[in-house]
Amino acid sequence: MAEQPLISLRGLTREYRMDAETVYALRGIELAIGTNEYVAIMGPSGSGKSTLMNVIGCLDTPTRGEYWLNGTEVSRMSDDELARVRNREIGFVFQTFNLLPRATALHNVELPLIYAGTSARERRRAASRALERVGLADRMHHRPNELSGGQRQRVAIARALVNDPSILLADEPTGNLDSVTSQEIMAVFGELHTQGQTVLMVTHEADIAAHAHRVVTLLDGVVHSDSVREAA
Amino acid sequence: MPLFDGLRLALREISAHKLRSFFTLLGIIVSVAFLVAVVAVIQGMNAYVRENLAGAIVGKNAFQIRRTPISVGFIDDEEYRELQRRPIIRAEEVEFVRRAIPDAQAIALQSGWPTPLADVTWRNRTVGDVAVFGVTAPYQMVQDYEMAAGEALIDLDIDDRRRVAVLGFDVADKLFDEIDLAIGRKIRVRGQEVVVKGVTAKKGTVLGQSWDGFVMLPITLFETTYGRRHTTVISVKMPEAYQVASAMERAEEAMRVARRLRPGQPNTFTIDTAEGLISFWKSLTRIIFTVVPAVVAIGVIVGGIVIMNIMLMSVTERTREIGIRKSVGASRADIQRQFLMESICLATMGGLLGILAGWGLAEVVAILSPLPSRVTLWSVALALGLGIGVGVLFGVYPARRAARLDPIVALRFE
């Protein structure tokens, strides 16, 4: 494992103020994730796994503690700096796919590159390549409503991959899919991992988490267990 | 995000809701169309006054020596009293002017506007409310009258106070079955018998008003019936336009001599060209030009608020889209630019459609009414500027709202 982990969380705390009450979503997370790890984050609802996902994905910032990504501290960054980190370092896959409904698969995949300022030709080439990687080369010009759930999630994965992110973040990626399709999607993640992609996945399903090589369990905003599976 | 991508995105968004976009823009379209159309009609009338009306009243390359200025406009009591004290233009003064301007093409004395109206009768036919002028023979040259039939008035007709008349084309056309039949007929003008000597060729209409409905009498005959009019004027026509200015100076000098005005005493007459008429007209249109922007401003503000509302609605509708865009790396500035671009495109389209509609409206007005119209570049530019301005002004708030959305909340939005 590399000397410096890809992700390093130190005493990460996130609290929400609701009226007079303070709700602690995360209370001092200590976690390090290295390059090319395949980590599943589990835990019951309310354990803070979604908040942790948002913080790691730079959609949210911690109240206290440090978050180092790729050697830079992102926990104190401004909104626009975070946007740039999301654009360059992070690829999101959501439970509800979150594709633009009126745009074609190709355009959806191009989206991160538009904000990266990539030229139109380069965008098209990169997006096509990403769609090919997830096996959707023949569906590039379809809109989301012309695609099955599994195909939509593949488009979302292609979009997450297109900017060559340091880390692929998946939030319940199979939550809206049937079991057969879920296995297909998990096979895609597995394939990406073997190609060297770091994958971090939030799930509450044990059989989905079983695809990962390391399972981190949260409980009440702290790391409850952290087990590395000896496999492969 | 590059500008071109933003523009394409905005246009796609607008064309995805064509009907909604159209109704959003209605306020802008109507206001801009109103602006363009009204300005076009006024500008058209300005040009018309300059090119047709002024020339028709005063004559080409001509000026008038008058008791009061053409542009009565807006004057105070003091000035008004001064004008009322001025003496009437006398026939003898024509001689002074003639001596001062030997190079004139024609110098005439005429009864002037406003002029009495009278019924003109031939046998059992009557034409009512015909304008009656008293003129000297050169007046026909000042006005460039061509004769359709018969002959023009000559100096002898005036000197001998002959009972003759020259009819405008329309009057002859209504009284007689054929224009040629008019010559030599005895007609009655306000009961007075006169012989038709000639009929002028058609001059056409000005602002829908026929320019051919008159009877010209020798001014000497005219004054036996109507007396010497306060409106009597001397017209001077020069062969070329460049000679007008110097002729006007000499006419002024001649008139001062004729009236024995001492140096320092003000003129008791006015020397006017068609410019006077044009400036009077312009002072009228200036009022319209101060009212129109106010009306347009109200319309544009209301139109802008409609755009703002629709954009706010659009931001809410597309909350999830905004969340998605932010999650893949769109900055606040990116989102703000996207929505601002959309409202600018929207408002600019409104401006363009308004210009087209206003242009069309002006053309329709020009075709259906005697009012001419002329679409001017500055009104089009102003309309377009208004559109873009409204887009920016009323697009900023919705765009900022969109830019400030929390991506986590936005992504969860249903």
pLDDT by position in tens, chain A (length 232): 446 789 999 999 999 888 888 888 899 999 999 999 999 999 988 898 989 999 999 999 999 999 999 989 998 899 999 999 999 999 999 999 999 998 999 999 999 999 998 898 999 999 999 999 999 999 999 999 999 999 999 999 999 999 999 999 999 999 889 999 999 999 999 999 999 999 999 998 888 999 999 999 999 999 999 998 765 4
* SS3 (DSSP) at B203: coil
Amino acid at site A143: R
Residues from chain A that touch B323, judged by Cβ atoms under 8 A, are 98
The closest CB to that of B2, out of A59, A80, A117, belongs to A117
Of A93, A101, A144, A132, whose CA–CA distance to B328 is shortest? Answer: A93
Distance in angstroms (rounded) separating the CA atoms of residues B239 and B249: 16
Distance in angstroms (rounded) separating the CA atoms of residues B1 and B14: 18
Residues from chain B that touch A54, judged by Cβ atoms under 8 A, are 408
Is A2 domain-assigned?
no
Contact B340, B395 (CB under 8 A): yes
Residues from chain B that touch A60, judged by Cβ atoms under 8 A, are 408
Distance in angstroms (rounded) separating the CA atoms of residues B273 and B278: 9
Q: How far is A13 from chain B (nearest CA, A)?
A: 17
Contact A92, A124 (CB under 8 A): no
From chain B, which residues contact A within 8 Å (Cβ)? Answer: 1-2, 5, 12, 16, 320-321, 323-334, 407-408, 411
Residue of A nearest to B3 (CA): A117
Q: Hey, how many other C-beta atoms are within 10 angstroms of the C-beta on A48?
A: 24
Q: How far is A106 from chain B (nearest CA, A)?
A: 15
Q: What is the pLDDT of residue B249?
A: 84
Say yes or no: A39 contacts chain B, CB-CB below 8 A: no
Is A1 domain-assigned?
no
Task: Give, for A148, the enclosing helix (H) or strand (E).
Answer: none
Residues 6+ apart with CB under 8 A from B411: A59, A94, A98, B320, B323, B324, B327
ipTM: 0.93
Distance of CA B386 to the CA centre of its chain: 25
Distance in angstroms (rounded) separating the CA atoms of residues A170 and A57: 10
Q: How far is A29 from chain B (nearest CA, A)?
A: 20
Residue of A nearest to B4 (CA): A120
Give the Å distances, CA to CA, from A156 to A127, A130, B141: 11, 10, 88
| Token pair recorded at residue A97 | 């796919």
Tell me which residues of chain A, numbers 109 to 168, contact chain B at a CB-CB cutoff of 8 Å: 111-112, 114-117, 120, 159, 163
Is A210 domain-assigned?
yes
Residues 6+ apart with CB under 8 A from B104: B98, B236, B237, B238, B247
Residue B218: asked if its preceding bond is cis (omega within 30°), the reply is: no
Distance in angstroms (rounded) separating the CA atoms of residues B134 and B116: 10
Of A49, A42, A94, A37, whose CA–CA distance to A206 is shortest? Answer: A42
Distance in angstroms (rounded) separating the CA atoms of residues B169 and B173: 6
Distance in angstroms (rounded) separating the CA atoms of residues B80 and B72: 9
The closest CB to that of A83, out of B12, B323, B326, belongs to B326
Residues from chain B that touch A59, judged by Cβ atoms under 8 A, are 326-327, 407-408, 411
CATH classification at residue A172:
3.40.50.300
Distance in angstroms (rounded) separating the CA atoms of residues B217 and B348: 60
CB contact under 8 Å between A79 and B325, yes or no, is no
Residues from chain A that touch B327, judged by Cβ atoms under 8 A, are 57, 59, 86, 92, 98
The closest CB to that of B329, out of A83, A100, A120, belongs to A83
Range of A76's domain?
A: 7-228
Is A57 domain-assigned?
yes
Q: How far is A229 from chain B (nearest CA, A)?
A: 31
Residues 6+ apart with CB under 8 A from A146: none
**Global pTM?**
0.70
CB contact under 8 Å between B329 and A54, yes or no, is no
Q: What is the pLDDT of residue A2?
A: 47
Report how many domains make up chain A. 1
Is A68 domain-assigned?
yes
CB contact under 8 Å between B327 and A59, yes or no, is yes
Q: What is the pLDDT of residues B122-172, one digit of tens each?
A: 888 887 788 888 888 888 777 778 887 778 878 888 788 888 888 888 887
CB contact under 8 Å between B327 and A98, yes or no, is yes
Distance in angstroms (rounded) separating the CA atoms of residues B165 and B156: 13
Q: How far is A124 from chain B (nearest CA, A)?
A: 13
In this prediction, the residues of chain B whose per-residue pLDDT falls under 70 are 1-2, 50-59, 70-74, 204-210, 274-278
Q: Choose, out of A115, A118, A123, A166, the residue to mutate when testing the contact with B (most B CBs < 10 Å).
A: A115
Distance of CA B217 to the CA centre of its chain: 31
